[in-house]
Amino acid sequence: MHTVGPVWHDGKGSEERDLEKAVCSALEACRKYKTVALPAISCGIFGFPPDLAAKITIREIQDFMTSDSSVSRIDVVILKRDVMSAFQKAFVAAFGLDRVSNLSHMPASSVADSGGTYCCVNKFSRFLFLVFIFSQRRQHYK
């Protein structure tokens, strides 16, 4: 799923609220699917600070996953190292280090089968993908 996010203007406008709405709208449009992939919205040429975008995106994903939907997995696809680093830090802050450590060498399918909420990093060609795997276990999101 892709959506147009806000352009960053030094945070003086409604950029944060607009990013929240963009992420929420994209997720809502995918409510009937089991697996959803999102980009790091506005973290490219729109110049949104990656650390702030990561916090907002993860918070919106957490809120969405507590709702009634068919979605059991959301992957966040990231193409830049600095954005990947910001999302990893935000993921650790939101869910704890134990959900991130020792997973970079595990196949995504193994992590998904375990039923938890985890972060798995994979590298393909020159692009970097940061994949967050969220399960149907709703208690992880509260």
Kindly state whether residue 24 falls inside one of the protein's structural domains. yes
Kindly state whether residue 49 falls inside one of the protein's structural domains. yes
pLDDT tens per residue, range 54-90: 999 999 988 888 887 888 778 888 878 888 889 888 8
| Structural domain containing residue 57 | 15-141
Task: For residue 45, give the CATH number of its domain.
Answer: 3.40.220.10
3-state class of 15 per DSSP?
A: helix
Kindly state whether residue 5 falls inside one of the protein's structural domains. no
Rounded distance, CA 138 to CA 136, Å?
Answer: 6
Kindly state whether residue 3 falls inside one of the protein's structural domains. no
The answer to whether the Cα torsion of 116, 58, 60, 81 is positive or negative is: negative
pLDDT tens per residue, range 93-135: 887 776 664 444 445 455 445 544 555 554 444 454 555 555 5
Per-residue CA distances from 35 to 32, 73, 136 (Å): 9, 5, 11
Confidence of residue 136 (pLDDT cuts 50, 70, 90): very low
- Tell me how many domains the chain contains: 1
